[in-house]
Amino acid sequence: MYPHYQAKLERKGRTKAELDEAIEWLTGFDDEALERHLEAGTTFEEFFEQATLNPNATLITGLVCGVRVEEVEDPLMRKIRYLDKLVDELARGKAMEKVLRG
């Protein structure tokens, strides 16, 4: 999914560095760790199992594909929706300090 996120953001004038910053904020993975996951073809399940989710991730609320992020019951799907929501907010031009809650 990373290439899709990157393409979406670049079409909206955002950068790969901004995407990576949002991913690092959410998961704790720095550039090197993220690159290892990308090269290994890590699944979302493996990716989020190894992540240290930001304690402020629960502040990510709102709709993604018509579904309220905060109401998603499956823990893995909620984490994926958190990431989707961050990417959506960046694509809409929201300031990075607002995207990275707290």
What range does the domain containing 59 cover? 2-95
Is residue 37, in this structure, part of any structural domain at all? yes
pLDDT for residue 100: 96
pLDDT for residue 102: 67
Is residue 90, in this structure, part of any structural domain at all? yes
* Domains contained in the chain, number: 1
Note the pLDDT tens digit of each residue in 23-49.
999 999 999 999 999 999 999 999 999
Q: Which contiguous run of DSSP H or E holds residue 67?
A: strand 67-68
Note the pLDDT tens digit of each residue in 66-93.
999 999 999 999 999 999 999 999 999 9
Is residue 29, in this structure, part of any structural domain at all? yes
CA distance to 42, 74, 97, per residue, from 100 (Å): 24, 23, 5
